[in-house]
Copies of this chain bind each other. A is one copy, B any other.
Amino acid sequence: MSAANTAPVPATVSAESPAPVGDHPFDEAIRLEPLGDRHFAGATHPEYWNQVGPFGGITAALMLQSVMQQPDRLGDPLSLTVNYAAPVREGEFRIETKLVRSNRTTQHWSMELVQGEGAGREIAISAIAVCAIRRDTWRLTEASAPPAPPPENCHRVRGRTDLPWLAHYDMRYVRGRPMHENEDSVTHLWVGDLPHRTLDFPSLAAICDVFFPRLYLRRPKFVPIGTVSLNVYFHCGAEALAANGARHVLASAHGQVVSAGFFDQQGQIWSQDHDLLATTHQIVWFKE
């Protein structure tokens, strides 16, 4: 989540063609080079920069990507928690991962994003994740997708042009107007990568963090904010993501409480086929 004001822009940009696979700026941004010993080298990407650090969603995607790249990974992501301990500084970083435990159907990982060497070594991000083999079982979706006209009938809202990452998401708001005193913080929007890109687990993790700060929907006053902890539960397999392809997903979020310098957010990400792809929660610091 990142502070950003909105301004409507023409929707024509969404007609861009999909970028060739692997050549998308998102793929460049989550590129990790194996260093051995389950460590990886990466670097911040200028196109996913926010204000004082990378877009939190790209950092979440990177932490997950460090698990996706493990040759002995079991199944697909089930759960991801990312704790933002400090801003990631511009430039190179390492992600140091550990296989905590491998069971028959679940596998547990921990990951840290590290910058600096020796006495200057600092952990900026601390994360844990679970992968799992999904099975065909009884299914029930108790939640329901929010009502929304198709994305092509919704107006694209382009955020602040000084925040590079916002240029990489096509966001079409259905409900919830930031920087206004709304009666609640409920927001629905269609969102997709720009250029278009087929959905996968890292991009879905990133999309879980595209929402405006809930605080801005109840109190129209700009203050610095920063996500402290982000949680994602994945409710689908890779084939459901591939089935959605490069089409927009419907994202919904609301907050429950603002208190003592922090506020929460919970959200859902729905496919165009009404599959609940992911649920997400975060707790966010704000400056009074």
Is residue A12 within 8 Å, beta carbon to beta carbon, of the partner chain? no
Q: Is the CB of B132 within 8 A of A228?
A: yes
Is residue A184 within 8 Å, beta carbon to beta carbon, of the partner chain? yes
Interface size on A (CB < 8 Å)? 62
Q: Is the CB of B101 within 8 A of A123?
A: yes
| Binding site secondary structure of chain A | strand
Instruction: Using CB atoms, name the residue of chain B closest to A183.
Output: B142
Q: What residues of chain B lie closer than 8 Å to A288, measured between beta carbons?
A: 135, 137-138
Cα distance, A110 to B113, chains bound together (Å): 13
Instruction: Using CB atoms, name the residue of chain B closest to A144.
Output: B256
Q: What residues of chain B lie closer than 8 Å to A79, measured between beta carbons?
A: 83, 228-229, 283
Is residue A203 within 8 Å, beta carbon to beta carbon, of the partner chain? no
Q: Is the CB of A142 within 8 A of B283?
A: no
Cα distance, A142 to B183, chains bound together (Å): 9
Q: What residues of chain B lie closer than 8 Å to A138, measured between beta carbons?
A: 219, 258, 288
Taking the nearest CB of chain B, how far is it from the CB of A220, in angstroms?
Answer: 12
Q: Is the CB of A78 within 8 A of B262?
A: yes
Instruction: Using CB atoms, name the residue of chain B closest to A280.
Output: B281
Q: Is the CB of A81 within 8 A of B81?
A: yes
Q: What residues of chain B lie closer than 8 Å to A237, measured between beta carbons?
A: 260
Contact with B along A99-133 (1 / 0, CB 8 A): 01101011010101000000000111011101010
Given A83-B108, A229-B81, the answer on whether A235 and B255 have CB atoms closer than 8 Å is no
Instruction: Using CB atoms, name the residue of chain B closest to A135.
Output: B261
Q: What residues of chain B lie closer than 8 Å to A218, measured between beta carbons?
A: 140, 142
Is residue A13 within 8 Å, beta carbon to beta carbon, of the partner chain? no
A-B residue pairs in contact (CB < 8 Å), sample of 7: A81-B128, A136-B260, A142-B255, A233-B281, A235-B257, A235-B260, A236-B260
Q: Is the CB of B256 within 8 A of A78?
A: no
Cα distance, A100 to B229, chains bound together (Å): 14
Across the interface, A85 reaches (CB within 8 A) one of B83, B103, B260, namely B103
Given A81-B128, A83-B128, the answer on whether A261 and B137 have CB atoms closer than 8 Å is yes
Across the interface, A142 reaches (CB within 8 A) one of B112, B235, B257, namely B257
Is residue A259 within 8 Å, beta carbon to beta carbon, of the partner chain? yes
Q: Is the CB of B128 within 8 A of A128?
A: yes
Taking the nearest CB of chain B, how far is it from the CB of A131, in angstroms?
Answer: 10
Taking the nearest CB of chain B, how far is it from the CB of A164, in angstroms?
Answer: 25
Instruction: Using CB atoms, name the residue of chain B closest to A268.
Output: B256
Is residue A40 within 8 Å, beta carbon to beta carbon, of the partner chain? no
Q: What residues of chain B lie closer than 8 Å to A124, measured between beta carbons?
A: 101
Q: Is the CB of A259 within 8 A of B139?
A: yes
